[in-house]
Amino acid sequence: MSNPILIDPLAFARDGASLQNERPVAALAGRVHELLASDAGVVKFEVEGFQDHLLRPSLRYRLSVTLSVECQRCLTPMPFELEAGV
């Protein structure tokens, strides 16, 4: 079972806080592991709080990880790079 990192999003945004961390893929929730060929790897993430031009609290995030998934053609493990952010 994963150990979540909890923040108060409104306070985080209002304070302009930021957080950078990483978690092993093995520590993610069990339902994620059902889709992977291996639980090796590390998820790196960044969260930044800010207020937009209308002074609305907002969060900007970025994450990156290389996962090991099963190729649907040859059924062998293959790396899958994932990067997401807003």
As a whole number of angstroms, the distance between CA 10 and CA 32 comes to 28
Torsion, CA 50, CA 64, CA 43, CA 45, rounded to 10? -10
- Per-residue pLDDT, 86: 79
Q: Which pLDDT score is estimated for 5? A: 77
Q: Which residues of the chain have pLDDT under 70?
A: 1-4
pTM of the model: 0.76
What residues contact 70, with CB distance under 8 A and at least 6 apart?
Answer: 37, 76, 77, 78
Question: How far is residue 62's CA from residue 66's CA, in Å, rounded to a whole number?
Answer: 14
pLDDT value of residue 18:
96
Q: Which of 69, 72, 64, 28 is nearest to 46 (CA)?
A: 64
Q: What pLDDT is attached to residue 2?
A: 53
The beta-strand segments (E) located in the chain are: 18-24, 42-51, 57-70, 77-85
